[in-house]
């Protein structure tokens, strides 16, 4: 009996024979790319940007079962600085959460620890300790347990609406605040609302960032480190399996 997996590989072989090297190079390129997942809130609200704790746990369990390795930001930085010559582990993944909500500590942090996984959290520094947001001590505690942090600016205003001088303050001040809080360099920024323009990228580089996370959809292939693509997970997405199969990921589920 031909399994679904064998059938798909058979089709791939036929395609390769038909299109020759182009298919092989496409396939290789895809294998060098990684999914960067984007979550916001993990709680009980019903809006698009919230997934339930049960859903989040199910997602982590699936990734764990499928043998994904959660990258740290240090690994990504090293990969970029070595011009992509240091190999990343097979089935690497980067899990990111934007906005620094309190539920990241209450619901996300324990689940990540339970599955021995890690994520990076992008903090709006002007909102640290505000109602429903992470506090400074929670951020420090999460860092001590292996979680990573990046900037999500000071005020969460959309960067492409700002003057270069305002953008510079958003990028440098938030970086400085987090570096003071955590005692280490902050190398990554996630642009609020995915909003940026060419000047933003120049200012981010000048401010000393190594990379910027956008909300462009897709695999990240590290060709433009200040415009990294992500795969958002929304309330209405049924599961990570559904989202990643749509992108051709999680191939072992096809067995």
Say if residues 179 and 214 touch (Cβ distance below 8 Å).
no
- Cβ neighbour number for residue 78 with a 10 Å cutoff: 14
What size, in residues, is the chain? 255
Closer CB to Zn ion, residue 99 or residue 148?
99
Give the list of residues 6+ apart from residue 1 with CB closer than 8 angstroms, or none: none
Closer CB to Zn ion, residue 98 or residue 187?
98
Closer CB to Zn ion, residue 99 or residue 187?
99
Shortest Å distance, C-beta 89 to Zn ion: 28
Closer CB to Zn ion, residue 88 or residue 108?
108
Residue 22 to residue 33: CA distance in whole angstroms:
17
- Cβ neighbour number for residue 68 with a 10 Å cutoff: 24
Shortest Å distance, C-beta 152 to Zn ion: 6
For residue 114 the two structure tokens come to 């339970």
Numbers of helices and strands, H then E, in the chain? 10, 10
Q: Which residues in this chain contact Zn ion in the complex, by CB under 5 A?
A: 98-99, 192
Closer CB to Zn ion, residue 63 or residue 189?
189
Shortest Å distance, C-beta 156 to Zn ion: 6
Shortest Å distance, C-beta 191 to Zn ion: 9
Shortest Å distance, C-beta 133 to Zn ion: 12
- The residue assigned the tokens 């992470």 is 134
Closest CA to 185 of 24, 80, 73: 73
């Amino acid at each position: 009996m031909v399994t679904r997996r064998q059938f798909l590989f058979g089709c791939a072989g036929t395609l390769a024979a038909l299109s020759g090297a182009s298919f092989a190079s496409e396939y290789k390129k895809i294998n060098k790319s990684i999914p960067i997942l984007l979550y916001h809130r993990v709680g009980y609200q019903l809006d698009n940007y919230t997934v339930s704790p049960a859903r989040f746990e199910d997602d982590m369990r699936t990734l764990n079962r499928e043998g994904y390795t959660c990258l740290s930001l240090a690994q990504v930085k090293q990969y970029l600085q070595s011009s992509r010559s240091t190999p990343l582990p097979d089935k690497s993944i980067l899990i990111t959460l934007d906005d620094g909500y309190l539920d990241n500590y209450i619901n996300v942090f324990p689940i990540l620890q339970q599955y021995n996984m890690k994520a990076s959290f992008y903090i709006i520094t002007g909102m640290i300790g505000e109602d429903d947001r992470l506090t400074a001590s929670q951020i420090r505690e999460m860092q001590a347990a292996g979680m990573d942090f990046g900037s999500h600016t000071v005020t969460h205003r959309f960067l492409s609406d700002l003057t270069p001088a305002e953008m510079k303050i958003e990028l440098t001040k938030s970086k400085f605040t987090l570096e003071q809080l955590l005692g280490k360099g902050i190398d990554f920024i996630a642009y609020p609302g995915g909003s940026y323009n060419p000047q933003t990228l120049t200012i981010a580089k000048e401010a000393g960032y190594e990379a910027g996370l956008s909300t462009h959809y897709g695999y990240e292939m590290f060709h433009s480190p200040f415009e990294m693509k992500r795969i958002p997970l929304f309330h209405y997405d049924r599961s990570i399996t559904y989202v990643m199969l749509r992108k051709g990921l999680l191939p072992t589920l096809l067995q």
